[in-house]
Structure 1
Amino acid sequence: MNNTLFEKIVWFFAYLVFMILAITVLSFEEFIPVVDDMVQSKLHISGVSHDVTAVLLNFRSLDTLLEVGVVLLALISIYTVSPHFRYKPLSFPSTMTDTFVSLLFPLIFLSSIYILSSGAYQSGGAFQASALIAGGIIIIRLVKPHYLSNIKESILRFVYSLGLLFFILIGFMTMLDGLFLQYPKEYSYVIIILIETVLTFSLGAVLAAFFITGVHRFKP
């Protein structure tokens, strides 16, 4: 089978799947936001005033825990599939770019801290903040290939797994006086902030590692 025929078959099935999904979605009955009303009625016991954060880090925190695990598993897969590859710098030494990044990264970091802290009362939180931090780390590694390259692999792997491990630890601690990841009402806000802070830096490192170890590589 030649490539042209194979591509046409793939496109046909892709179009077929798209049409099936489109017809299925269009056939849905009118959506009644029952869940939204339930969340709003319980928002006062969540520890935060934003409904999305309340769902992700309190009411459905186990789902978020599994999502963090999936992200970490993806990084482990990258390490497993190509363990003998290393990062290839995309830039050359330049005083201008070095200075620009030195000024830019602190702004990125401050922006991520703001987005992290604002998640309690508006759209934001750990995942958005970690994406910003990851972007900052990638920019640094592109412009300054040897910057942060002396960090031991064992330390990096600890940082990668810290978010998931801390999340699980909180879950076991809550079992001392209740169910897994069922926060005491009086400590809900503090627990959510702690989890989001640790996840921000851990996921930031993981997302940056996706690019550094999995996109631009070459055989040593």
Structure 2
Amino acid sequence: RLLDAPGRGPGPGRRIQDPFGFRAFPQAHGPALDAAEALRRIVGTEVNCPSENPLIAPDGTAAHHHGGFYAAPVGLALDALNLAVLQTAQLSAARLTALGRPDLTGLPAFLAGGPASSSGTMILEYTAHSALAELRHCAAPASAGHAVLSHGLEEAASFASQAARQTLRAVDAYGTVLACELVTAVRALRLLPDPPAVRAFTVADAALPTGLEDRPLTADVTAATELLRTLAEI
């Protein structure tokens, strides 16, 4: 339905089951969207709450010490988002690999063109899994940290700022994984005898470099990364 492709008629399949990368898409992306929405809600609450400590009464007669500065809700929400994004990225890398398998697609190995020794999009698997390694580091919960300071009076910390920095790193790494999948998916669709005419493919097809010959794919991944926000709005 996403590709506006005709439905498959009844008959024996070529394999017992399809890879998880295609079947478990909603189960991975649903929690990630929920985590992003939860973070948006929590950050909205936090930025509208006074966090300075102590709070001074309007008439200046009293100072109130409190724990409003303790950003555990933000840190935990960021950690949850990083873990959820990792789940979706792992499936993205799995789909990238699947698209290069002739037994699954009926297309050339690694979607290569030219001589039999051509590597096609194989190098993108390495790039995507390198970014996945970064995502796994970012998904380690910063909230698990611990610190005891100020003679034991400040005996805990939320580590929300560390979680935020991990999220910034995760955004870049996640973009790389998605860009690698996008380059591979567009090439696979171009190889079909009748590529889909849906808007997402039309936009991506026009924006990404063409040609099946072996060459550096840096420009392809860069263009795909810049295209992600546009595709997200379609």
Q: TM-score, normalised by structure 2?
A: 0.30
Structure (1/2) with the larger helix percentage = 1
Q: TM-score, normalised by structure 1?
A: 0.31
